[in-house]
Chain A
Amino acid sequence: MTVESPAGAVPTLRVAIPFTFYRFVVIAVTAAVVLAPLSLVFYQSFLDAPFFQPAARLSLYAYRFVFADEDFWVAFGTTLLLASGMTLIAVPLGAGLAFLMVRTDVPGRNWLEPIILIPIFVSAVVLAFGYVVALGPVGILTTSMRELIGVAPWNLYSFPFLVAIAGLTHVPHVYLYAAAALRGLGSDVEEAARTAGAKPWRVALDVSLPMVLPAILFAAVLVFFLGFELFGLPLVLGDPQGVLVLSTYLFKLTNKLGVPSYQLMAVVVVAIVAITAPLVFVQRLLLREAQRYVSVRGKGVRLAALRLGAWRWAAFAAIALWFVFSVVLPLAGITLRSFVETWGEGIALSEVLTLDHYRELLDYPNVVRSMINTLGIGVIGGAAAVVFYTAIALAVHRWPSQWTRIIDYLVMLPRAMPGLVAGLALLWVFLFFKPITPLRQTLVSVWLAYTVVWLAYGMRLVSGTLLQVAPELEEAGRTTGASETRVKFDVTLPLIRAGMLASWLLIFLIFVREYSTGIYLLGPGTEVIGSLVISLWGTGAIDLVSALSVVNVGMIGIGLLIAIRLGVRLHG
């Protein structure tokens, strides 16, 4: 297309890709990748047999069955309670923690941050089991407490405990968002309150908190979401007492009728999606609010840390308490379990210490290979995932169009599928969508599964970073003659490099601890630690599970430290 450019204009490449074209390609690809598994599930819910069997007929039987099943409604209600409770715990604690770390002079705030993120990279099943060892009916602490004061006044398997643990272990998720928002606040609005006469705490309550509230509420919705997806925790801690949530109900439903009944599972997924959609709507509203509060004009004055005075050490103690309960206890439980032959009532721990499990682990087939695969998926797969998420985030970044709404919904949907179903649905996609079938038995399929399922989480990380790029910087690029595409590559991308690195680190953590999503796609040669854990768990080799988990956590911890040493900052 030849267009007369005014004199002085940069001659435009004839083959330049207009950015709008790129945007629509991104939407199409994202839609395909998200809707493929979901539409299969949706379709399945209306059949009376697996969709790939010729005898399958359209039927509402599955819906009738599930909605008539009392267990479904009980599970639904319990899940709502769990998700709400966990949000109510995680949000204030996460926001408070962020405030302490970002705005005050609480001791240790320079090295605490990576430690706060530990719960994110320990798999839920492992965490839950650690609690059983530590606080279960015959747990180490429980028996010690009973010896000390005669009674251990808690029941690990109770619903309140489950809610508490779920909430406490999701504090880091809220922390990440709240901390980023607090860092983005201009200091002048807080100083204005102080000069008007407000003590630092008043300032926090009257100014800082309301201004980061939209970001916090956004995180709250995300945590609520994750509550629907929780599986490992309720499985280990809820099942014994018959506490049923939607994901464990799904698990039960799988075999209720004898032969795995996908249509029933599909109905549950459809129900979860039905709840998900309005949540996304709410989230969009909140995000718009949040953007209004971003200080575009605040001077780059250094944020003076609020002095806590006498409360410094009390605050530190509070953080330490959270850390002990949410991280140290379960990890200690698991570590202990990996070093003892047996444990529990009547066992003197010192008599049963052993390194045998680690030795056995080395002998276990494919352990080393699974570790390498896991690392590979985490590092390389994580990087590839971040590229993918960035591509999507760039497409919708500063695009004043209704199409961005579609991306917002699309992006959230995969997380509505609990891991059990997601894995199965993705298997079906790979099996029945011929062009990608050859990829099925490679790690690429596992990577794709993980990337799709964590789409919402990853994209939000990158979007947050993009928002911090001042519009003028991109506009300056445009006025010198760069097309929108070039601006994104030459200006925007380099500016968010640090943010992308941080996202890579977080995605690495998440991919490495994944366990249920890839289960149908794994095979000899592509096994990962998560699936190994589940397989071992099934046979009761809990000791090996513990040893493997300790190794896993150690690996991740080292990875985290390396990344931070290399300068990856977890905040933009």
Chain B
Amino acid sequence: MLRVCSITLVAMITSAASAWAQGAGDANLAEAAKKEGRVVVYSTTDAASANPLLKDFAALYPGITVDYTDMNSTEVYSRFIAEVAAGTGTADVVWSAAMDLQLKLAADGNAAIYASSEIPSLPKWAVWENKAYGTTYEPITFVYNKRLVPPSDVPQDHAALLTLLTTKPDAYRGKITAYDPEKSVGYLFDNEDIKYFPQAWDLFRAFGKVGARLYPAAGIMMERVTSGEHTIAYGVFGSYALARSKKVPNLGIIMPKDYTLVMSRVAFVSAKAKNPNAARLFLDYLLSKRGQNVIANAADLYSLRDDVTGEATVAGVRALIGDKARPVAIDRELLANLDASKRLEFIKKWQAAMKGQ
């Protein structure tokens, strides 16, 4: 009897606690958020892409101003931790594409525990301990110059790319470009490649042998491909590529058919948020069907909800590559990418590969 009682008591307390952690009804949240009046967001999503979201959010919740600052991932991280340490005002929501850094921040106790009301509609891999949330579903693609790469050469998957580079090294000497893992999110992607592609290191060595050029950002990779200075770019965010291809017709995009990595921009509500309710509201919005719709169809990003339609959605990706999408899971494994000695080892191996060894 006592056992049953205690179990029931525990269950009650647990559910009460979780109910408490949950947005206690969206209406109340919106009320409280309006009272706060603003939400400060640090983000790596550029202002132009975020603009449709901000406008829509403002339309939905007119009383809440979004203070949106876009920076690169290092700046977001540095600024956030310094401000938290100083105890001054900082972001209420941190939204960054650097998945590993975001998870570290969340795991270090910077993220508030909040069970968003949208959780049921989100894929399992996108929610971590109700602290950090994936908000997009961006495939990592190959991008190529349609005018300069003959259709027979266009690699449809990783193996084909490897074959291309080993059989036609001269045609592609100096024409390949990829992320520099030392300076960018490329590190994460390359390590995921190693998981799914047994010949990943052969591929990297092939890059080295044809003198691939490495860059820290996708933007410049695409620019060089569209100008023809390079012809194939490896590992470009599908979202950027899609947006660019609408303006530049000679930009081709391939989602590799053997597997396509999918990354997600991670957002969390800061534990020290000065506007906690507005922050939660904003996060909910990002994850909501309405917000995700904007993300897919106006913001040039990809949506991760099944119930959103459009090209830049889970369904859209599935239509192209079936079940070959491999989302990067938002879990503690990401932290392995921040291990200093592992990184140094990888970099050493990578640098050797870049010399063709």
Chain A residues in contact with chain B, CB under 8 A? 50, 52-53, 136-138, 239-240, 251-252, 254-260, 262, 341-347, 364-366, 424, 427-428, 431-432, 437, 440-441, 519-520, 522-524, 535-544
Query: Is the CB–CB distance between B347 and A541 below 8 Å?
Result: no
Pick the 7 closest A-B CB pairs, nearest first: A540-B219, A344-B227, A345-B228, A258-B338, A52-B85, A431-B86, A344-B228
**A572 to B: closest C-beta gap in Å:** 41
Given A258-B340, A437-B86, A519-B75, 18 new contacts (CB under 8 A): A138-B227, A251-B183, A342-B248, A344-B227, A345-B228, A347-B228, A365-B54, A424-B78, A427-B78, A427-B79, A431-B82, A520-B78, A535-B70, A536-B46, A537-B219, A537-B220, A540-B244, A541-B48
28 contacts across the A-B interface (CB closer than 8 A): A52-B82, A138-B227, A138-B229, A255-B184, A257-B340, A259-B338, A260-B78, A262-B78, A342-B248, A343-B227, A344-B228, A344-B229, A345-B147, A346-B148, A347-B228, A365-B51, A366-B47, A519-B75, A520-B75, A524-B68, A535-B70, A535-B71, A538-B72, A539-B219, A540-B219, A541-B219, A542-B219, A543-B247
**B298 to A: closest C-beta gap in Å:** 13
Query: Is the CB–CB distance between B182 and A255 below 8 Å?
Result: yes
Query: Is the CB–CB distance between B339 and A240 below 8 Å?
Result: no
Contact stretch, chosen from B10-18, B151-159, B210-218: B210-218
Query: Is the CB–CB distance between A540 and B48 below 8 Å?
Result: no
Query: Is the CB–CB distance between B46 and A538 below 8 Å?
Result: yes
| Contact A428/B82 with A343-B227, A364-B48, A524-B68 known, Cβ cut-off 8 Å | yes
| Contacting residues of chain B (77-113) with chain A, CB-CB under 8 angstroms | 77-79, 81-83, 85-86, 88-89, 100-101, 104
**A352 to B: closest C-beta gap in Å:** 9
Most chain B beta carbons < 10 A, residue from A262, A341, A344, A537: A344
Nearest A residue to B220, CB-CB: A540
Give per-residue flags for B173-200: 1 if the beta carbon is below 8 A from chain A beta carbons, else 0: 0000000001110000000000000000
Q: How far is the CA of A367 from the CA of B339 in the complex (A)?
A: 40
* B290 part of interface (Cβ distance < 8 Å): no
Which residues in A have their C-beta under 8 angstroms from that of B117?
none
Query: Is the CB–CB distance between B86 and A258 below 8 Å?
Result: no
Most chain A beta carbons < 10 A, residue from B72, B77, B228: B228
Q: How far is the CA of A50 from the CA of B86 in the complex (A)?
A: 12
Q: How far is the CA of A239 from the CA of B183 in the complex (A)?
A: 11
Which residues in B have their C-beta under 8 angstroms from that of A543?
247
Count of residues in B whose CB is under 8 Å from the partner chain: 60
| Contacting residues of chain B (242-272) with chain A, CB-CB under 8 angstroms | 244, 247-248, 250
Query: Is the CB–CB distance between A137 and B85 below 8 Å?
Result: no
| Contacting residues of chain B (321-352) with chain A, CB-CB under 8 angstroms | 337-340, 343-344, 347
Nearest A residue to B228, CB-CB: A345
Q: How far is the CA of A540 from the CA of B217 in the complex (A)?
A: 8
Q: How far is the CA of A254 from the CA of B67 in the complex (A)?
A: 27
Query: Is the CB–CB distance between A256 and B343 below 8 Å?
Result: yes
Which residues in B have their C-beta under 8 angstroms from that of A53?
81, 85
* B222 part of interface (Cβ distance < 8 Å): yes
Contact of A342 among B46, B226, B344 (CB under 8 A): B226
Query: Is the CB–CB distance between A440 and B88 below 8 Å?
Result: yes
Chain B residues in contact with chain A, CB under 8 A? 46-49, 51, 54, 67-72, 74-75, 77-79, 81-83, 85-86, 88-89, 100-101, 104, 145, 147-148, 182-184, 213-223, 226-229, 240, 244, 247-248, 250, 337-340, 343-344, 347
Q: How far is the CA of A77 from the CA of B221 in the complex (A)?
A: 28
Query: Is the CB–CB distance between A365 and B47 below 8 Å?
Result: yes
Query: Is the CB–CB distance between B46 and A539 below 8 Å?
Result: yes
Q: How far is the CA of A262 from the CA of B81 in the complex (A)?
A: 12
Q: How far is the CA of A538 from the CA of B183 in the complex (A)?
A: 13
Q: How far is the CA of A259 from the CA of B147 in the complex (A)?
A: 40
Which residues in A have their C-beta under 8 angstroms from that of B227?
136, 138, 342-345
Query: Is the CB–CB distance between A540 and B147 below 8 Å?
Result: no
| Contact A256/B182 with A136-B229, A341-B247, A341-B248 known, Cβ cut-off 8 Å | yes
Which residues in B have their C-beta under 8 angstroms from that of A424?
78
**A272 to B: closest C-beta gap in Å:** 20
Which residues in B have their C-beta under 8 angstroms from that of A138?
227-229
Query: Is the CB–CB distance between B247 and A535 below 8 Å?
Result: no
Query: Is the CB–CB distance between A540 and B240 below 8 Å?
Result: yes
Query: Is the CB–CB distance between B347 and A256 below 8 Å?
Result: yes
Which residues in B have their C-beta under 8 angstroms from that of A260?
74, 77-78
Query: Is the CB–CB distance between A535 and B47 below 8 Å?
Result: yes
Q: How far is the CA of A239 from the CA of B250 in the complex (A)?
A: 26
Which residues in B have their C-beta under 8 angstroms from that of A524?
67-69
Nearest B residue to A520, CB-CB: B79
Nearest B residue to A241, CB-CB: B213
Contact of A258 among B67, B70, B337 (CB under 8 A): B337
Q: How far is the CA of A386 from the CA of B222 in the complex (A)?
A: 42
Q: How far is the CA of A520 from the CA of B86 in the complex (A)?
A: 15
Q: How far is the CA of A343 from the CA of B68 in the complex (A)?
A: 33
Q: How far is the CA of A343 from the CA of B184 in the complex (A)?
A: 27
Q: How far is the CA of A255 from the CA of B72 in the complex (A)?
A: 12
Which residues in A have their C-beta under 8 angstroms from that of B228?
138, 344-347
Query: Is the CB–CB distance between A259 and B101 below 8 Å?
Result: yes
| Contact A432/B343 with A522-B69, A535-B46, A541-B219 known, Cβ cut-off 8 Å | no
Query: Is the CB–CB distance between A52 and B86 below 8 Å?
Result: yes
Q: How far is the CA of A296 from the CA of B47 in the complex (A)?
A: 58
Q: How far is the CA of A542 from the CA of B218 in the complex (A)?
A: 11
Nearest B residue to A424, CB-CB: B78
Q: How far is the CA of A520 from the CA of B88 in the complex (A)?
A: 14
Contact of B86 among A344, A365, A432, A441 (CB under 8 A): A432
Query: Is the CB–CB distance between A431 and B338 below 8 Å?
Result: no
Query: Is the CB–CB distance between A437 and B88 below 8 Å?
Result: yes
**A148 to B: closest C-beta gap in Å:** 18
Which residues in A have their C-beta under 8 angstroms from that of B104?
259
